[in-house]
Copies of this chain bind each other. A is one copy, B any other.
């Protein structure tokens, strides 16, 4: 299993506070140590940093910390390999061009059956179930629709494909095209939207504190989406089984509610005491 971290904002924002907590789960506070990746949208372009080393100690992750890159949409992933070897091509997030845009995808969960991609032009480069599922999704979108859909049509189409892929196993994912961010929950996915009045937040993994008043402006809206909450004194929304949300400009725009289920320990929890 793995853990996911996403950020969607209305103003370019630095993800370092969240990322520095998150990366500790890759070898220090948890066991998701089989590589990592983080993608920052900048306009239509994407900066990607990835490594097959544990994110907690990777010099590439140190580089991310050092540069405080600001972005409207960021997706990060720390991996605990269950399907596919530990190597660079199996690190998330995966990226494909769809309708002249970078689409960035990270997945948590195992698909027990793989979708049939034998007739797809989009093919996985690595050997994960996750990349195979993303190729299936990209193919479905590009094959059926030759030009970019409206935001509502994308929401409906991606939801439909997600429902289909969810039949094959656990399918928590975060997806972005740089304009918006979609989150789908099978088992564990939480989000929080921060806006004025801002306060202090304490990280779960090391108790580090930040006062967002020192950084945010009154109109800032920042949503963080993650497998398990990054901070311990804030109220995070736990998504429901089958829940599907579209965030844009830092806030929730559309949502399909799922079904309340007890937390399934799908291995994602690892050895965390939280």
Residues in chain A within 8 A of chain B (CB atoms): 42-48, 50, 52, 59-60, 63, 66-67, 87-91, 96-97, 99-102, 121-126, 142, 146
Contacts and interface: CB of A to CB of B under 8 A. Distances in A.
B121 A142 contact: yes
A121 B121 contact: yes
A89 to B, nearest CB: 4
How many copies of this kind of chain does the complex include? Answer: 2
A87 B178 CA distance: 15
B126 A97 contact: no
28 contacts: A42-B87, A42-B88, A43-B87, A43-B88, A43-B89, A44-B89, A45-B50, A45-B52, A45-B88, A45-B91, A45-B126, A46-B88, A47-B50, A47-B88, A48-B48, A59-B66, A60-B67, A63-B63, A89-B102, A97-B122, A97-B123, A97-B125, A100-B124, A100-B125, A101-B125, A121-B121, A121-B142, A121-B146
Q: Is the interface of A mostly helix, strand, loop or mixed?
A: mixed
A176 to B, nearest CB: 14
A98 to B, nearest CB: 9
Contact of A44 (B121, B125, B142): B125
A66 B87 CA distance: 21
Given A67-B60, A97-B96, A45 B121 contact: no
A123 B100 contact: yes
